[in-house]
Amino acid sequence: MRFNQFSYIPLSIQEAEKELRELGFSVSLEKSAKANLEDFLRKCFFQYEDRDIPLANWLADFDTDLLTFFQSDKALTLEVFYMVALQLLDFIPHVDFEEVNTFIEKTAFPIAFQEEEFLLNLHQLLATRQKTGMTLIDKLLSLGLLPADNHYHYFNGKSLASFDTSQIIREVVYVETGLDSDQDGKKDLIRVHILRPQTDQALPTTLTASPYHQGTNPVANDKKMHKMEGLLSSKPAHKIEVEVKPIPQVAYSHSQAPQGPASETFTHIANYSLNDYLLARGFANIYVSGLGTLASEGFMTSGDYQQVNAFRAVIDWLNGRAVAYTSPKRSTQVLADWTSGKVVTTGISYLGTMSNALATTAVDGLEVIIAEAGISSWYDYYRENGLVSSPGGYPGEDLDVLTEYTYSRNLLGGEYLRSNQTYQAFLRQMSQDLDRDKGDYSQFWQDRNYVSHAKEVKAQVILTHGSQDWNVKPLHAYQFFKALPSNIDKHLFFHNGMHVYMNNWQSIDFRESMNALLTQKLLGQANGFQLPRVIWQDNSQEQVWQRLEDFGGSHYRTLDLGHGQAIIENHYQEEDFERYAKDFNIFKAQLFKGKANQITIDLTLEEDLLVNGRPRLKLRLKSSRAKGLLSAQVLDFGLKKRYKDVPSTKEARGIDNGRNYVRENCLELPFVETPYRVISKAVLNLQNRQGLLSIDDVQADQWMTIQLDLQPSIYRLNKGNQLRLVLYTTDFEHTIRDNSDYQLTLDLRQSQLLLPYD
């Protein structure tokens, strides 16, 4: 393990003493450091009747147990403090370490021993993560250090787990959205699941907007899946025009129905463990699936502002501006009289997408979004540079397929009977509007582009994204981050994983950082917490996270691609084509080994370089036909240690989110020897070489100059590292599989790879 501590808030020694004493530690500025350490430890062992027993079983050094040490006149030294601190953080002498100082240096232990200000050491130690993934204070609270009294308690600017999760109120309400997406003459209701502690405190809320939470329809999804094999269309030259429309504003109806408490309840719903963590710390949890989902009304409009405004209605209800009812009969309305109205949105993928979208509405009450691997423009999820481009791992999926998958309203037989015929007509129109034949940008996609409205955002924005996320690609975080207004606080956690959560990783105190931020923004505690603009997982070192000022550099290092000409053949023998189409992973393996139809160019770095932003290709090429597509990937090539893209378990059920509440595994990305790592990639329809809104003719055998910006990344390269640039046509994971007989010719002498840096 290596420590990376971003959540600790420095404070004065007097404040440290006050906070420690409020937790029941009988420390004092008048006592010696050694006496304070003994009192501190005896409190940590509060579960023992005879606290001499654990002291006798722990070490002060490799020759002395702690009980003997405290009974002696030995001085408290740096080595003794570190030995004790490591044991408190679940590290075991002779198992995890043999030499204290070496281990402290190896793990980048964040606390510097200060005998004269020792209470600061003890204070920070409580806020430091154990090997199992919890901070020491969270571990002590999970064991019962403080009573679960359903009132707020704070330590180091963070809310503590003092709310009783064994007595949670679980209730369901139906929020009226002000929309009629299914055109049935009624304002659509959406079902809302609420979990909140039993308390008289006004609670802030975590809102997770997810069409997946109440179930999905994989059967309809599979039936709707599109065939990837076909011919790349030759498009007539023209300019595309779209309009950036204002976000639609929604008016809510006033209800004359009598008021009453929620009457429907539930036992379980698919949850997110960060929400569980916050629930125990006084944040209500709300899960809402939205339009067209199980027990809600309306159609699944998939990414447009009807869907977004339906989720917004929940925030408006929490702030008294919209109406909710006890049931779809709308006979009794329910007030959100338990909440402060302050909201943070959470969740990954579609959930993070709705966080991005909700932020652009600038709805009052939305204070913070935590958007993890969220889409910022639906075109860039299902299309790229004039091509249909399936998200990584899902060839053949498109927005109409996802609509079928998430339209869980049809899982209720009565709803299917009443609305499916109208819904299928709606779905056919969507399939026509998304236009798989051409892959072009259009008003349909513009209406699902949140980057166009990013300038409206008022909430504080937290983004997380993985460099190896080829599902929701890094461009989504990059372009949204860059488009946000300069006067708001925005932050990015950029890791080396794929499409994964990072709140339960061993090496980064993400959840504690979010606690500090939300305690400040939603609970009104002036804790002085400041989060760096960009926190980046250094790909060159195990469990190391670095601070950066921004995502995207303004300078480029140019690498020439060589001399002469090289040819990419598009056509494959039938046997190879069918094999690659059947399993795109076989194609990827062959591609990275240089055995597909491709140009492979190996380049050696002549100096260290931190790539930050979008690599760019400047190419001179020609196609043997009046059309063509180009795919490109940049690899860090050669055997060395790199991160795997999926985390593995470090400690099974090591994290307690409250008091024996929703325990989860402590995870981490393994750092292992691999032959290569993809840094960036992109695909391009050659007819879109002048831009997304310009369709130009391709003249057969006529040279063209193109500029292609690849997916953004932050990636450290060292002098002597080898880059492998792979250029090819069909990508069997992402693009149309056109096996027609044409070739691209590249003029290497007039082609370059440009790597961005600060």
List the catalytic residues.
Answer: 349, 469, 499
CA–CA dist 548, 534 (Å, integer): 5
Q: CB neighbours of 453 closer than 8 A, spacing ≥ 6?
A: 244, 247, 360
Residue 292 φ/ψ region, left for φ over 0, alpha for ψ in the -120 to 50 degree band, beta for the rest: left
Residue 346: which of 479, 489, 209 has the closest Cα?
209
CA–CA dist 206, 286 (Å, integer): 6
Angle between helices 118-126 and 33-44 (to 10 degrees): 20
Q: Could you give phi then psi for residue 356, rounded to 5 degrees? A: -55, -50
Instruction: Transcribe 519-556 into DSSP letters.
Output: HHHTS---------SEEEE-TTSTT-EEEES-SS-SEE
For 387-489, strand residue ranges (E) read 387-388, 460-466
Bridge partners (DSSP) listed for residue 324: 175, 334
Residue 709: which of 727, 734, 682, 672 has the closest Cα?
682
With tokens 């109208």, the residue in question is 422
CA–CA dist 272, 642 (Å, integer): 28
CA–CA dist 463, 500 (Å, integer): 13
Q: CB neighbours of 607 closer than 8 A, spacing ≥ 6?
A: 719
CA–CA dist 368, 530 (Å, integer): 14
CA–CA dist 252, 313 (Å, integer): 9
Structure-token pair, residue 108: 């980048």
CB contact at 8 A, 426 and 407: no
617-652 residues labelled b (16+ CB within 10 A) or e (exposed): bebbbbbebebbbbbbbbbbbbeeebbbbebeebbe
CA–CA dist 196, 169 (Å, integer): 5
Q: What is the CA 56 to chain-centroid distance, rounded?
A: 45
Q: Could you give phi then psi for residue 651, rounded to 5 degrees? A: -150, 110
Alpha-carbon dihedral angle through residues 657, 660, 140, 103, given to the nearest 10 degrees: -70
